[in-house]
Structure 1
Amino acid sequence: MRAIAGLSATLAVASMVCAPGAVADPAPPGATPLASLDACPPGNRGEPPVLLIHGTNASVEKSLGPTRQALLDDGRCVYGLDYDSMQPVSTSVDYFAAAVDRIIELNPRTTVDVVGKSQGALIARAVSLKFTDPERNSIRRVVSISGPQHGVTEVVGGIDITALGAGTPVFNLLRRDALRDMLIGSPYLSALNAGPLTAPNVRYTMIATETDRLVTPYTSGFIDAANVTNVLLQDGCPQDRAGHLAESTDPRTIDLTLHALDPTRHPEVRCLPNTDER
């Protein structure tokens, strides 16, 4: 288990209520510290807790709200943590690795499932690489929804914004640390992907959609490894054209996530028409 003491003041938001008397760890102004997380409530099914990680400039509700509700309806214990998605990805990875430690501290004799959307999916995989000790399996499964695992091009909606970034405020997002880290060939991704892409003790499901206009190419969301299942949203359901943003509420994406976490309990995956290619 990794130690959580000494987290820097760049740690981001957690979203559950603290047990009385907990000692607060440092956090940015307005952010809820990891010390505020509480143990899973009594009555959950006993499956591993699920940690949700949202995407860039979003929140857990915007990125994974319907998925969170489906998990809660299924009796799972769910931790939804918000964070500063413009800070360096490495800072967010350290934060969520500490969150995994904290969840296991609160719920002994368990492992954690991690579900990430977009930047959150990249963070989820990077966090899993911090838990490779075969003597302690801290993370059981990772579900990545349109994660830029190999980076994205400097193209948004089919428009190359490289030349516009420096002088046009609306496109100036490329000056933000996290977005630079997610570009193809960035120093962060080059270092992250220089070694093994997955942890040997974790099962991964990588979901992507061919209509993705933000994570481009969409195949950046896939990884070729023995412990990875890559799923294209349109495989077996070409009428589901949900794009990057629309995946957040897409029934098939939600079902694929539940199936990845518990295929025995959730064997069926719906195929419904979805023309929202945002």
Structure 2
Amino acid sequence: MRAITGISATLAVAGMVCVPGAAADPTPPGATPLTSLDACPAQTRGEPPVLLIHGTNASVEKSLGPTRQALLDDGRCVYGLDYDSNQPISTSVDYFTAAVDRITEINPRTTMDIVGKSQGALIARAVSLKFTDRQQHPIRQVVSVSGPQHGVTSVVGGIDITPLGAGTPAFDLLGRAALRDMLIGSPYLTTLNSGPMTAPTVRYTMIATETDKIVTPYTSGFIDAPNVTNVLLQDGCPQDRAGHLTESTDPRTVDLTLHALDPVRHPQVRCLPNTDER
């Protein structure tokens, strides 16, 4: 998906014109070609672009559709890229790292924000760590919505993979390497979390819900670090019982994301009853 922006009811599209024969494009199969990304429309360049990363077996619309629309209504430039969420997470991290380079290269802003849902939130944090040694970090903020930052105990993407164990290569054969990578104790997470879990110049907001039945325990979505704000959906709003899937359309989750990215413009966070714990 390309860069898009919304003014009132009109959506201005930053094109998806592919560049034939672009040998340098590091796009894996099934992902949006990075050479197809265009610069943000001129009217959106006052704020950093936002990259949205969807969850397992989902899409940007399914994972972050209302958030994307709210950002468009704000006049923000939004990039939402398709990718194969079953491939090894390291492959997705390399792809989105290249996407950050591409987006900052074609835009006048030198920084950007990333919002990720579920697996996409884990990818977002991993991408932010890739730039730690750069003199200027291209990522300003990361917002994680129920990201399995420490891994999950048994269920990933709605599939119970407990019998296989974190170290098994079986999911590589089944085309679901990402599910294995998200298990607590997996080789990927062990390596990723062996050092600092955040980049020191990036601000992180970690949103989780205690009714999460996919990222379990839900506290896997939190990180203890000075530049991290951990937010439980039910804090101050116990009547919002939105589960992992329902968070995608939950008004409070959308508001918390917008507040994290721009608290001046979005000081209020709604509290509405939500009994859908899926």
- Deviation at 1:208? 0.1
Q: TM-score, normalised by structure 1?
A: 0.87
Distance 1:132 1:28 in 2: 24
TM-aligned CA deviation for residue 82 of structure 1? 1.1
Q: CA 1:30–1:208 in 2, change beyond 3 Å: closer, same or farther?
A: closer
- Rounded to whole Å, the distance in 2 between the matches of 1:28 and 1:87 is 10
Separation in structure 1 between the aligned mates of residue 109 and residue 251 of structure 2, nearest angstrom? 32
Aligned to 1:146: 146
* Aligned CA distance change for structure 1 residues 92 and 31 (closer, same or farther; 3 Å): closer
Query: Structure 1 residue 132: deviation in Å?
Result: 1.3
Q: CA deviation at 1:21?
A: 5.2
1:133, distance to aligned residue in structure 2 (A): 3.4
Distance 1:66 1:145 in 2: 13
Q: CA deviation at 1:28?
A: 4.9
- Say which SS state the counterpart of residue 207 (structure 1) adopts: strand
Offset at residue 42 of structure 1 (A): 1.4
Alignment map for 1:105-144 (pairs within 5 Å) = 105-133=105-133, 135-144=135-144
CA distance in 1, matches of 2:190, 2:30: 33
User: For residues 159 and 178 of structure 1, what CA distance do their matches in structure 2 show?
Assistant: 12
Question: Which residue of structure 1 lines up, in the alignment, with residue 73 of structure 2?
Answer: 73
Structure 1 consecutive aligned stretches of length 4 or more whose deviation exceeds 2 Å: 14-32, 155-165, 172-175
Deviation sequence 1:13-62 (CA, Å, 0-9, x none): x5453457575325455543100000000111511100000000000000
Root mean square deviation of aligned Cα: 2.4
| d(CA) in 2 for partners of 1:185, 1:126 | 16
For the pair 1:245 / 2:245, whether they are aligned, the reply is yes
Tell me, in whole angstroms, the C-alpha distance in 2 between the residues paired with 1:37 and 1:74: 21
Task: Kindly provide the CA deviation profile for residues 224-264 of structure 1, in whole angstroms up to 9, marking residues without a partner as x.
Answer: 00000000000000000000000000000000000000111
CA distance in 1, matches of 2:173, 2:238: 33
Alignment match, 2:168: none
Q: Tell me, in whole angstroms, the C-alpha distance in 2 between the residues paired with 1:109 and 1:85.
A: 28
Larger CA deviation: 251-260 vs 24-33: 24-33
Alpha-carbon distance between aligned partners in 1 of 2:154 and 2:132, rounded to the nearest angstrom: 33
From the superposition, tell whether residues 119 and 261 of structure 1 become closer, same or farther in structure 2 (CA, over 3 Å). same
Question: Cα deviations across residues 168-203 of structure 1 (Å, max 9, x unaligned)?
Answer: xxxx89952000000000000000000000000100
C-alpha contact 2:198 2:225 (8 A) present in aligned 1:
yes
Q: State the shift of 1:163 in Å.
A: 3.6
In structure 2, the partner of 1:5 is none
Which structure 1 residue ranges, 5 or more long, are not aligned? 1-13, 166-171
List gaps (5 residues or longer) in structure 2: 4-14, 166-170
Aligned residues of 1:156 and 1:213 also touching (Cα < 8 A): no
TM-aligned CA deviation for residue 212 of structure 1 = 0.1
Pairing 1:224–2:197 present: no
1:69-101: CA deviations, max 9, x gaps? Answer: 000000000000110000000000000000000
**What is the CA distance between 1:207 and its match in structure 2?**
0.1
Could you say what secondary structure the match of 2:190 adopts? Answer: helix
Query: Which residue of structure 1 lines up, in the alignment, with residue 12 of structure 2?
Result: none
Distance 1:130-1:164 versus aligned 2 partners, 3 A rule: closer
Q: Percent identity?
A: 82
Letter in 2 for 1:142: V
C-alpha contact 1:202 1:227 (8 A) present in aligned 2: yes
In structure 2, the residue matched to 1:271 is: 271
Report the number of matched residues. 259
Deviations 1:110-155 (A, max 9, x none): 2010000000000000000011136212000000000000000114
Change (3 A) 1:22 1:258: farther
Q: Distance in 1 between matches of 2:77 and 2:111?
A: 12
Could you tell me the TM-score, scaled by structure 2's length? 0.87
Task: Note closer, same or farther for the CA distance 1:208–1:129 as it changes in structure 2 (3 Å cut).
Answer: same
Deviation larger for 27-36 or 60-69: 27-36
Q: Which residue does 1:54 correspond to in 2?
A: 54
SS at match of 2:211: coil
SS at 1:35's partner residue?
Answer: helix
* Distance (Å, rounded) in 2 between the aligned partners of 1:238 and 1:84: 35
Letter in 2 for 1:269: V
Corresponding residue for 1:10? Answer: none
